């Protein structure tokens, strides 16, 4: 495996450029480009509040679930045009929305949640806590089983802070790149991400 090394000065310059992304490019485009550059097990394990982002099949949406005290509290969905916070779900068979905090681990493990993007794409999201499910305490379905669509996400009446989840994710991935050498594939993706995050 070829390893591309960056000296300290060039790495500091790159990281410094990334700190100015807020005025130069959308958070959505920046994160979308960073994901392939920083796809690594470390990214999955070094998180406490926000789950690993889920990208829609068409790549037009990114979802970031938020957890507090082992309960799902929000699902943030980002596109090029919008940032939305969902805090309830209308489960199939139910007449009214219920808070996401009421969903059990067993239900979440066996069901997907869904929303529609501006392009009418139905985004089906598999929700897992930060770091994934604890296989020792959560009953796992058969490997042959697929999660079923369980209901539609309901947008919060109050937008709240939609910037923190995606910017926290961007920072986490920047930290990983700063502290690690990149193989050829990740270095190529990082170079692309740098250009996208610095677009004007």
Predicted confidence at residue 119, as pLDDT, reads: 83
Q: Supply the DSSP symbol for 6.
A: -
pLDDT tens string 139-169: 555 444 678 999 999 999 987 899 999 999 9
Read off the pTM: 0.82
Mean pLDDT of the chain: 84
What the block records as the tokens of 4 is: 């591309």
pLDDT tens string 71-110: 999 999 999 999 999 999 999 998 899 999 999 999 999 9
- Roughly what angle, to the nearest 10 degrees, separates helices 163-179 and 27-37? 30
Confidence of residue 65 (pLDDT cuts 50, 70, 90): very high
pLDDT tens string 124-141: 999 999 988 876 655 555
The beta-carbon contacts of 135-144 under 8 Å, at least 24 apart in sequence, are: 138/105, 138/106, 138/109, 139/106, 139/109, 140/109, 141/109, 141/110
Distance, CA of 92 to CA of 95 (rounded, Å): 8
Which has more pLDDT, 178 or 93? 93
């Amino acid at each position: 495996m070829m390893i591309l090394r960056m000296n300290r000065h060039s790495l500091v310059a790159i990281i410094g450029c990334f700190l100015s992304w807020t005025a130069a490019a959308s958070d959505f485009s920046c994160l979308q480009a960073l994901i392939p550059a920083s796809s690594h097990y470390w990214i999955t394990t070094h998180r406490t509040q926000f789950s690993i982002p889920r990208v829609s099949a068409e790549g037009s949406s990114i979802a970031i679930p938020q957890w507090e005290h082992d309960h799902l509290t929000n699902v943030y969905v980002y596109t090029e045009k919008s940032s939305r916070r969902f805090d309830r779900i209308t489960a199939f068979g139910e007449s009214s929305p219920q808070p996401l905090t009421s969903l059990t681990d067993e239900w979440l493990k066996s069901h997907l949640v869904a929303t529609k993007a501006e392009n009418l794409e139905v985004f089906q999201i598999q929700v897992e806590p930060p770091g994934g499910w604890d296989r020792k305490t959560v009953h796992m379905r058969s490997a042959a089983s697929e999660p079923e669509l369980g209901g539609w996400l309901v947008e919060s009446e109050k937008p709240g802070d939609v910037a923190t989840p995606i910017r926290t994710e961007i920072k986490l991935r920047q930290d990983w790149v700063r502290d690690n050498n990149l193989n050829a594939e990740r270095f190529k993706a990082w170079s692309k991400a740098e250009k996208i995050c610095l677009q004007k």
